[in-house]
């Protein structure tokens, strides 16, 4: 038996969650969450923790003088891949106009996840 | 002089939500005044995710959240002026503003919604000894430099204060290749959200030292190093606990101050605890027809609640102008805070103007475990809610039902009390 105490990061409530693992490392029970998101987070966090990564890339030719456009991984990626993702978008630039949801880079760092824009740049 | 029914000061999340809800409540003559070149306010630089779970049931980044409201403003063809600085508002609701295109101009408003937000406390308010070298930034300034200007403020970083922006910037600077050596927090607990400690510090093995502060900044032209020390319960540095860090940058995340120069100028009564206007149930200040919402009223942790609060201010402003500027005396039942809460918003409630459900927000002054939040209407306890943990960094709220008021016509006092049982 092994217990892991987590703080849920799914939303700003930050519920304290306890996950109990049995001898072979399988999840026995999850307690303390207050929504389905919390339970899903806790199960994932002890087996395969993931994060959405947000960053910025350069934008060229923006009408209002913007130089950066914000972006994110379209879905969460394994926690261990965060720095690979950041390396993957290093040095990239895009040309305006850019719309929210536009794919900036496909399959970043071999994760199968695209980088998408999160800001409108005219 | 130009005339508008409702003029909103500030085009950030509070101003946008107030405008949309005022429009939806029937107001048409609405103007938003924004000093920046874009609407959206601070959300434009908050590129991290976690916004909108409450409002849109999905997890958005700051710019995406702002865009949702911006689109709603556009759809409704609500007027706004950018690059426009409001200089003064008179008690009679005459707004003096200026911009490069229109010069200096005045607007008579029927109602004013204050939505100016807040600003960061800076080094000047901290009494840290040492020279004034380059390399000391507020966390929000660093955030703007990195996320909007594409510039790195430094490579080796110490952060003083564990407010949310500081935590977010610890992660952001790390991802951009900087080494964040330590986050020092004067208080015995963090001022930020628990989730941000986990995903911004723990994920990257950045140490958080509670009850620590900066006692020396080294370097004359540029920051070269920082000395921190542990503090005792009176927040005085303890000799012998000094630790030195070599670094080129110090970020400060040491609190936010509602920006109320304009409110003070027009004579609005300010609550000394929140540094924001004292408001009634309608989020109306001491001047009838002048409303306040968002960080100008009290500093929030979550933009979702800013939007919710501002939407309520927008509706109330619309009702005010539709009633022809009803300035009759309000019946004011005071809201008292006991046993933990440092303040409440609102501070008075007029039972005749309560909607179906009225949200009262507050913050506690210390970490409180396993207590109840109770609401008393005179001697009657109408709400009794168990809270496993409350922290100063996380805003609390209770919802008062209209029925509580209807059942008690002679109500004299409302008390929000944090109690053991």
Which pLDDT tens digit goes with each residue over A29-61? 999 998 898 999 999 999 999 999 999 999 999
Same domain, A35 and A79: no
**Of A48, A70, A86, which residue is a domain's last?**
A48
Within this chain, do residues A42 and A86 fall inside the same structural domain, yes or no?
no
Domain assignment present for A14: yes
Q: Which residue of B has its CA nearest to A52?
A: B49
User: Is this complex scored with an ipTM above 0.90?
Assistant: yes
Verify that A43 and A10 share a domain, yes or no.
yes
pLDDT at A14 over 90: no
Of A64, A67, A72, the CB nearest to B150: A67
Give the pLDDT confidence of B23-61 residue by residue, as tens digits. Answer: 999 999 999 999 999 999 999 999 999 999 889 988 899
* Domain range enclosing A70: 54-117
- pLDDT tens string B348-384: 999 999 999 999 999 999 989 899 999 999 999 999 9
Does residue A23 sit in the same domain as residue A75?
Answer: no
Q: How far is CA B35 from CA B8, B87, B98, B313, B362, in A?
A: 12, 11, 9, 21, 30
Q: What is the CATH number of the domain that holds A108?
A: 3.10.530.10
Residues of B within 8 A of A14 (CB-CB) are: 193-195, 198, 394
User: Does residue A93 sit in the same domain as residue A73?
Assistant: yes
CB of B198 within 8 Å of a chain A CB? The answer is: yes
| A79 in the same domain as A25 | no
Q: Are A43 and A86 part of one and the same domain?
A: no
* Same domain assignment for residues A66 and A99: yes
What pLDDT score does B330 carry?
73
Say if the Cβ atoms of B195 and A79 lie within 8 Å: no
Interface test with B, best of A118, A121, A122 (most B CBs within 10 A): A118
Q: Are residues A61 and A33 in the same domain?
A: no
Residue A19 shares a structural domain with residue A70: no
Domain boundary among A25, A48, A71: A48
Residue A122 lies in a domain: no
What's the number of domains chain A is made of?
2
Q: Are residues A69 and A110 in the same domain?
A: yes
Q: What pTM does this model have?
A: 0.94
Q: List B149's β-bridge partners, or say none.
A: none
pLDDT over 80 (residue A11): no
Decide if A109 is inside a domain: yes
A98-121 tens-digit pLDDT: 999 999 999 999 999 999 999 999
Ranges under pLDDT 50 in chain B: none
Q: What is the pLDDT of residue B327?
A: 66
Q: Is B179 at the interface with chain A, CB within 8 A?
A: no
Whether A37 and A79 map to the same domain: the answer is no
């Amino acid at each position: 038996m092994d217990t892991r105490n987590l703080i849920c990061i799914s939303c700003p409530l930050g519920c304290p969650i306890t996950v109990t693992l049995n001898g072979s490392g399988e999840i026995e029970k999850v307690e303390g969450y207050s929504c389905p998101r919390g339970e899903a987070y806790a199960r994932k966090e002890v087996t395969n923790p993931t994060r959405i990564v947000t960053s910025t890339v350069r934008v060229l030719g923006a009408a209002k003088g913007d130089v950066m456009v914000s972006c994110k991984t379209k879905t969460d990626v394994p926690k261990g891949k965060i720095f690979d993702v950041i390396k993957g978008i290093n040095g990239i630039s895009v040309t305006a106009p850019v719309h929210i949801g536009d794919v900036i880079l496909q399959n970043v760092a071999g994760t199968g996840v695209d980088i998408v824009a999160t800001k409108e740049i005219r | 002089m130009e005339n508008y029914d409702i003029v909103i000061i500030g085009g950030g999340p509070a101003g946008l939500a107030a405008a949309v809800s005022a429009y939806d409540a029937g107001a048409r003559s609405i103007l938003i005044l924004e000093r920046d070149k874009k609407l959206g306010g601070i959300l434009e630089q908050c590129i991290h995710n976690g916004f909108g779970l409450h409002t849109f049931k999905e997890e958005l980044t700051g710019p995406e959240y702002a865009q949702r409201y911006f689109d709603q403003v556009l759809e409704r063809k609500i007027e706004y002026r950018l690059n426009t600085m409001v200089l003064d508002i008179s008690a009679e609701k005459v707004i003096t503003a200026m911009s490069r295109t229109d010069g200096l101009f005045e607007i008579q408003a029927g109602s004013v919604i204050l939505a100016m937000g807040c600003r960061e406390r800076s080094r000047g308010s901290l009494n840290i000894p040492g020279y004034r070298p380059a390399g000391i930034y507020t966390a929000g300034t660093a955030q703007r430099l990195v996320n909007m200007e594409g510039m790195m403020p430094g490579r080796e970083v110490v952060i003083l204060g564990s407010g949310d922006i500081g935590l977010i910037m610890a992660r952001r600077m790390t991802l951009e290749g900087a080494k964040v050596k330590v986050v020092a927090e004067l208080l015995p607990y963090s001022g930020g959200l628990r989730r941000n400690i986990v995903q911004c510090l723990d994920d990257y093995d950045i140490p958080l030292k509670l009850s620590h502060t900066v006692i020396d900044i080294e370097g004359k032209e540029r920051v070269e190093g920082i000395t921190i020390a542990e503090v005792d319960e009176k927040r005085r540095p303890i000799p012998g606990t000094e630790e030195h860090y070599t670094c080129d940058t110090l970020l400060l995340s040491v609190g936010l101050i509602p920006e109320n120069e304009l409110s003070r100028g027009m004579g609005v009564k300010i609550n000394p605890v929140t540094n924001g206007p004292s408001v009634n149930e309608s989020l109306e200040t001491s001047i009838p027809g002048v409303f306040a919402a968002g960080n100008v009223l009290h500093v929030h942790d979550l933009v979702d609640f800013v939007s919710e609060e501002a939407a309520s201010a927008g509706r109330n402003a619309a009702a005010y102008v539709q009633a022809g500027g009803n300035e009759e005396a309000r019946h004011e039942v005071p809201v008292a805070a006991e046993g933990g809460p440092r303040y409440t918003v609102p501070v008075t409630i007029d039972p005749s103007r309560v909607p179906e459900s009225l949200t009262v927000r507050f913050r506690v002054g210390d970490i409180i475990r396993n207590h109840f939040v109770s609401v008393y209407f005179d001697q009657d306890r109408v709400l009794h809610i168990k809270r496993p943990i409350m922290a100063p960094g996380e805003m609390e709220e209770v919802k008062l039902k209209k029925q509580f008021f209807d059942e008690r016509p002679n109500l004299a006092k409302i008390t929000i009390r944090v109690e053991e049982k």
